[in-house]
Chains A and B, each alone.
Chain A
């Protein structure tokens, strides 16, 4: 029996993509030439220890390792890379920041560099260099990494999640194309349910999926957990509207969403029981690489999140920033490495290896071949442009990260949608929890 997690689902698709990663001499030649002209000269005998999150797509890891190897050969920098699971990256980086040893660089999640602004190497020159060369940084990416005018880290990529749907079911429900606004989306979900081809979005403690779509619904109504000054403003009429909308939506869902974790919708979708959900590209990749699921893969399409009443995209996508600690002995090597891996010659191949799992934060890469190689990849190229920082309109930082990790928004919606609490009660509980975190 297969354990259908996102990771194993993607493993099938890797043999194919592994061949695509830039390898061998070509990459090395480029690396040598690049090292000669680079604005950052690695210190002699530099050694860098880099911690990254554990990959979900093996081909992405291969591409990343090829970049590391080329950089190491061209500059003589000794690179020591190890990976940790999503949950462990932040604690370990915090310990390194705290003790001033163990790591030179950390590549993590959300707003990692904001957790220890005094312990990182300022990356202003790297950000300027890359920004100028590649069409500038996306808004959310810059906010995630900047404190005032200083760059605390470099937003390497974003992990995007979008609407996954079965075209046949949506068409049968009377929609030629995927709805673009909230009322249309609700109508479609109602029609899907009536046809017994239901949609389903996680209302359980699913870190990625549940937080992703519920923050989108909340923000889409113009409601936020905290304002620009980090004052708790969840108790608002806008939140009430978001709750009502979400309730109406959840009434159309496949039963059981309150118990879903991050892999539940993947399983249900691939089993043909679920016809619309929010997910990364992994469902499609899994279907595409499974010969028995050919028909399903052809029927799967992706769409952007419909835009809420406030009239602009309010998605929550997962930012993946990298940072260098200021206690490293080799800050120039660290800067050189970061700049190197984001150069076109590496980065486009890397995106290809990731098969849509990673999205650029530099505007120029929107034209990277991966996004047009398969038209169904295209929407994922928008992830970093259409997302808000994890903090919404508040300050990106550890409190915002805590609120997400503690499922405050998820529980608020789930409380109301499952009937465990009335709307007022659900909001008051969330407000109380937010005040605990933002005290």
Chain B
């Protein structure tokens, strides 16, 4: 009996107990962690750290070149009853909503058009991308000349046609200025929406349309019940990006109006730049930038939760 009892013990000694280190070595999650570390490092250093630093700065009275003291929510309190800040919030929301709505409508229209069979299809599709390819600052400068108060080509043409007697005050009148910058933004943003939606359209199976045709569906019914539902996930993604880009727009405004006339086109991003970099009050500029975060989060949340819903994904009422 004693022999029998000893033998398995010896055997167990030969097969070493797996130590914690052994287990860790073969743990896929542990390995995965190391593979993800570089990406994590990038995210922390280039995204999380600047974001955190920005938020921290907004709680200090830092000026350019000088370390600030912690001042709590003082910057935000001053912003709270700052009429120019609220005007910039209003401008940003107006700019984002109007521009995004137009970009979606025109982009979808263009995508449907480009999805049809027509001569020079490839070339036309490439042409649509041009506004997107031109560097923003260049196109902004072009618009600045187009809408110049003295040398506008539009005013010039209309004057020569005898339709107006005086130059249109494009960038000097608050309403006109807003229309002009929104127009420029739409012009620039449409290709992105159009081309992405076009890509989405091409994933729709032609057999669905064939079946619908056999069933005697009209063009509108085909769009409403096949194209649109299948396109919704793409629309959600595209419009989220479009809203984010528009909300944080800076170059167009800065090159065209610098926020003028009398702050009528100041967006939160441009006001933040003016206060932080031009006027040197980094803390306050950071507070304005940080105030954009809730709006951006809201936009992301809407699309995030929207994307989770099967109705959005499949376009059916089965959620």
Which residues from 62 to 78 on chain B have a C-beta closer than 8 Å to any C-beta of chain A? Answer: 63-67, 78
Question: What number of A-B contacts does a CB cutoff of 8 Å give?
Answer: 121
Q: Does A260 contact B (CB under 8 A)?
A: yes
User: Smallest Cβ distance from B30 to chain A, in angstroms?
Assistant: 42
Among residues of B, the one whose C-beta sits closest to the C-beta of A402 is B279
Contact partner of B258 (CB less than 8 A), chosen from A205, A268, A401, is A205
Distance of A137 Cα from B150 Cα, bound (Å): 42
Contact with B along A206-244 (1 / 0, CB 8 A): 000000000000000000000000000000000000000
Which residues from 264 to 284 on chain A have a C-beta closer than 8 Å to any C-beta of chain B? Answer: 264, 267-268, 271, 273-274
Contact partner of B172 (CB less than 8 A), chosen from A94, A98, A257, A433, is A257
Take A98-B67, A398-B280, A402-B280 as given contacts and tell me if A258 and B262 are in contact as well, using a CB distance cutoff of 8 Å. yes
Q: A91, B280: Cβ atoms under 8 Å?
A: yes
Contact with B along A60-103 (1 / 0, CB 8 A): 00000000000000000000000000010011011111100000
User: Smallest Cβ distance from A389 to chain B, in angstroms?
Assistant: 18
User: Smallest Cβ distance from B265 to chain A, in angstroms?
Assistant: 10
Q: A432, B82: Cβ atoms under 8 Å?
A: yes
**Prevailing SS type, chain B contact patch:** loop
Q: B262, A414: Cβ atoms under 8 Å?
A: yes
Q: Does B171 contact A (CB under 8 A)?
A: yes
Q: Does A406 contact B (CB under 8 A)?
A: yes
Q: B167, A255: Cβ atoms under 8 Å?
A: yes
User: Smallest Cβ distance from A251 to chain B, in angstroms?
Assistant: 14
Q: A429, B84: Cβ atoms under 8 Å?
A: yes
> Chain B residues near A436 (CB, 8 Å)?
78, 82, 284
Q: A94, B65: Cβ atoms under 8 Å?
A: yes
**Which of A95, A258, A407, A436 neighbours the largest number of chain B CB atoms within 10 Å of its CB?**
A258
Distance of A167 Cα from B107 Cα, bound (Å): 54
Q: B149, A255: Cβ atoms under 8 Å?
A: yes
Q: Does A161 contact B (CB under 8 A)?
A: no
Take A398-B280, A406-B278, A429-B83 as given contacts and tell me if A415 and B150 are in contact as well, using a CB distance cutoff of 8 Å. no
Q: Does A254 contact B (CB under 8 A)?
A: yes
Q: B151, A260: Cβ atoms under 8 Å?
A: no
> Chain B residues near A192 (CB, 8 Å)?
none
> Chain B residues near A95 (CB, 8 Å)?
64-65
Q: Does B260 contact A (CB under 8 A)?
A: yes
Among residues of B, the one whose C-beta sits closest to the C-beta of A265 is B150
Q: Does A348 contact B (CB under 8 A)?
A: no
Take A204-B261, A259-B169, A418-B262 as given contacts and tell me if A98 and B66 are in contact as well, using a CB distance cutoff of 8 Å. yes
> Chain B residues near A271 (CB, 8 Å)?
150-151
Distance of A11 Cα from B281 Cα, bound (Å): 35
> Chain A residues near B171 (CB, 8 Å)?
256, 258-259
Take A90-B280, A98-B67, A267-B151 as given contacts and tell me if A418 and B174 are in contact as well, using a CB distance cutoff of 8 Å. yes
Take A204-B258, A258-B262, A261-B258 as given contacts and tell me if A398 and B63 are in contact as well, using a CB distance cutoff of 8 Å. yes
Q: Does A246 contact B (CB under 8 A)?
A: no
> Chain B residues near A402 (CB, 8 Å)?
279-281
Contact with A along B234-267 (1 / 0, CB 8 A): 0000000000000000000000011111111000
Q: B280, A256: Cβ atoms under 8 Å?
A: no
Distance of A268 Cα from B148 Cα, bound (Å): 10
Q: Does B166 contact A (CB under 8 A)?
A: yes
Take A255-B149, A259-B171, A271-B151 as given contacts and tell me if A203 and B261 are in contact as well, using a CB distance cutoff of 8 Å. yes
How many interface residues does chain A have, given as a range? 35 or more
Q: A258, B260: Cβ atoms under 8 Å?
A: yes
Among residues of A, the one whose C-beta sits closest to the C-beta of B141 is A3
Contact partner of B278 (CB less than 8 A), chosen from A204, A261, A405, is A405
Q: A255, B84: Cβ atoms under 8 Å?
A: no
**Which of A90, A257, A418, A421 neighbours the largest number of chain B CB atoms within 10 Å of its CB?**
A418
Tell me the count of chain B residues lying within 8 A, CB to CB, of chain A: 39
Q: A259, B170: Cβ atoms under 8 Å?
A: yes
Distance of A255 Cα from B264 Cα, bound (Å): 17
Distance of A259 Cα from B257 Cα, bound (Å): 7
Q: A418, B261: Cβ atoms under 8 Å?
A: yes
Contact partner of A264 (CB less than 8 A), chosen from B149, B173, B262, B278, is B149
Q: Does A411 contact B (CB under 8 A)?
A: yes
Distance of A204 Cα from B266 Cα, bound (Å): 12
Q: Does B274 contact A (CB under 8 A)?
A: yes
Distance of A414 Cα from B151 Cα, bound (Å): 22
Contact partner of A420 (CB less than 8 A), chosen from B262, B279, B281, is B262
Q: Does B186 contact A (CB under 8 A)?
A: no
> Chain A residues near B177 (CB, 8 Å)?
259
Q: B167, A256: Cβ atoms under 8 Å?
A: yes
> Chain B residues near A429 (CB, 8 Å)?
83-84
Q: A258, B151: Cβ atoms under 8 Å?
A: no
Contact with A along B205-223 (1 / 0, CB 8 A): 0000000000000000000
> Chain B residues near A437 (CB, 8 Å)?
281
User: Smallest Cβ distance from B221 to chain A, in angstroms?
Assistant: 49
> Chain A residues near B125 (CB, 8 Å)?
none
Q: A420, B274: Cβ atoms under 8 Å?
A: no
Which residues from 408 to 439 on chain A have a C-beta closer than 8 Å to any C-beta of chain B? Answer: 411, 414-415, 418, 420-421, 429, 432-433, 436-437, 439
Beyond the given pairs A94-B280, A436-B284, 5 more chain A to chain B contacts, judged by CB atoms under 8 angstroms and listed by A's residue number, are: A93-B65, A204-B258, A256-B149, A256-B167, A420-B261
Which 9 A-B pairs have CB atoms at the shortest separation, nearest pair first? A256-B149, A94-B65, A259-B171, A258-B261, A258-B172, A259-B172, A205-B258, A405-B279, A406-B279
Q: Which of A's residues lie within 8 Å of B, judged by CB?
A: 87, 90-91, 93-98, 203-205, 254-261, 264, 267-268, 271, 273-274, 398, 401-402, 405-407, 411, 414-415, 418, 420-421, 429, 432-433, 436-437, 439
Q: Which of B's residues lie within 8 Å of A, judged by CB?
A: 63-67, 78, 81-84, 148-151, 166-167, 169-174, 177, 257-264, 274-275, 277-281, 284
- Between-chain CB contacts (< 8 Å), 5 pairs: A98-B66, A205-B260, A414-B261, A432-B81, A432-B82
